[in-house]
Chain A
Amino acid sequence: MKLNLKVWRQNNANAAGKLVDYTVDGLNPDMSFLEMVDVLNDHLVKKGEEPVAFDHDCREGICGMCSMYIDGRAHGPQHAATTCQLYLRSFKDGDTVHVEPWRSRAFPIVKDLVTDRSAFDRIIAAGGFISVNTGQARDANNLPVDKHDAEKAMDAAACIGCGACVAACPNGAAMLFVSAKISQLALLPQGQPERDLRALRMVEQMDAEGFGNCSNIGACEAECPKEIKLTNIARMNRDFLAASVGSETE
């Protein structure tokens, strides 16, 4: 199997980038997209050229590192999959495939396909935590949680912080990510003491990072590898409104 690639190459944050054509041949359709880039990089290194820089870690769909805008879509054409879980059988032999980094003011390009997503870390640090006392683990059954809430919290907690929602959003908004991180705690009793403060601080930090504004387009939900739902954004909207208008938290 053969692919014609147009890969975004950019030396550093300030350099101008451009799409560069590569052809990779002898591919197996059951290879993952990342393995294909590995093959490309092998060729480049052998030719004495600079390999394509890209982020990756777990290669099993759970770390969220493998950010690539493939063939005009975040993580490529396959539904609910990260780049490492995207296989070449999703493409046809001889296809031309564009590969670009996430494009967002809040995710500056470091090199080639690598972007700096530490804006997400700063949003978490602003309020995406709970305060618990250390000591003995408490008895599992003395804190009842409604089954529906437990499931919704688990679904929200599936977010791997990959940033595909931002990459796919025409507004460059980060609300699906932030709402998942707010929801996973807002739905549980452990998240209640800091619920107001969390909503205020995380939204405040999200705005400060320069993400865009959500206009309910829904591209994020459609492209999220973990199928995080727009209902989380509505929950964040409610929490932030309640915290701004109703709470004494400033």
Chain B
Amino acid sequence: MSAATHKSSALFKSSLGKKYLMGLTGLFLISFLLVHCFVNAMVFFDRSGSLFNEYAHFMGTNIIIRIMEVVLFAGLLLHIIDGLMLYFQNRAARPQGYAYNKPNANSSWYSRSMAILGTLLLTFLIMHLAHFWVHSRFMEDNMLKQPHPDFKTDMLNLYSLMVDTFSNPIVVVIYVLAQVALAYHLLHGFWSAFQSLGLNHTKYNNAIHMAGTAFAIVIPFIFALMPIVIYLRTIGVM
């Protein structure tokens, strides 16, 4: 135990440093989900899509939001890299597993499956970014330029891109399933972030758990409704 071994750089190399990073980036991503969900929920209130397009236009052009977009990608990347490091280190901590094990007797399956749930979410995210982010940022789609009486001339018609994407029922099913994975990831991740940051207190634990459960159910549910509602609009049911 040499006195000089603990430098501040050692913080994030330590097991607890990785926990803090996981919790912090997780909470940051949770805050993003909240904003993303709020903005996209505009599709419910206006079937012409112009309300949603207005919000999307603001998000796409506001300088602070654009900077946050870069921070968001950095946070996501850290969350992924940190998560992978934890996963492989934890596998190595038990080179030989039990011949007979009953993990369900002491813990929930989803708390033990954060890595696999996260991988599913990442796979979905790549598809999701290909569907929307890549189109709106880097491609000159005709659809996005579709004229609409309400639109300012430089405004992209992201709503029509949504309609086009979700007219495919297979895509809708994949999006809904991804929200199930998100719900379970959040069900463990939300309170877990607080615990990792040391925010565990008898006075507030119930509130944190309840807020986490509510968040894990409500947000993915609203997200899942979006492709469903738009699909129903395209086939004329709604």
Contacts and interface: CB of A to CB of B under 8 A. Distances in A.
Interface of A: 6, 8, 19, 69, 71-73, 77, 98, 100, 103-106, 126, 168, 170-173, 175, 200-201, 203-207, 210-219, 222-223, 230-231, 233-238, 240-241, 244-245, 249-250
Contact of B93 (A211, A217, A230, A250): A211
Contacts of A104: 93-94
A124 B16 CA distance: 18
Q: Which of A6, A100, A205 has the most CB of B within 10 A?
A: A100
Contacts of A237: 16, 19-20, 195-198
A215 B90 CA distance: 10
B98 interface: yes
B96 A213 contact: no
Contacts of B153: none
B5 to A, nearest CB: 7
A105 to B, nearest CB: 5
Contact of A204 (B14, B96, B100, B188): B14
B6 A204 contact: yes
B90 A170 contact: yes
B25 to A, nearest CB: 14
B207 to A, nearest CB: 15
B103 to A, nearest CB: 6
Q: Interface majority SS on B: helix, strand, loop or mixed?
A: loop
Given A223-B106, A235-B198, 12 more contacts: A103-B94, A105-B93, A170-B103, A172-B93, A173-B90, A210-B93, A215-B111, A217-B111, A237-B20, A237-B196, A244-B14, A245-B8
Nearest to B205: A231
A222 B114 CA distance: 19
B93 A212 contact: yes
7 contacts: A105-B95, A213-B15, A216-B196, A217-B111, A236-B16, A237-B195, A237-B196
Contacts of A205: 1
A82 to B, nearest CB: 16
B64 interface: no
B209 interface: no
A230 B195 contact: yes
Contacts of B96: 103
A231 B195 CA distance: 8
B92 interface: yes
B157 interface: no
Given A98-B100, A235-B198, A203 B16 contact: yes
A231 B200 contact: yes
B19 A214 contact: yes
Nearest to A242: B198
Interface string B19-49: 1101000000000000000000000000000
A122 to B, nearest CB: 10
B137 interface: no
Nearest to A72: B102
Interface string B178-191: 00000000001001
Contacts of B22: 215
Contacts of B19: 213-214, 237
Given A173-B93, A213-B86, A214-B15, A73 B106 contact: yes
B90 A172 contact: yes
Contacts of B236: none
Contacts of B111: 215-218
A215 B86 contact: yes
Contacts of A236: 16, 198
Contacts of A175: 15
Contacts of B6: 200, 204, 244, 249-250
B76 to A, nearest CB: 18
Contacts of A249: 6
Of the listed residues A168, A173, A210, A215, the one surrounded by the most CB atoms of chain B closer than 10 A to its CB is A215
Of B8, B86, B92, B96, chain A has the most CB atoms within 10 Å of the CB of: B96
B18 A213 contact: yes
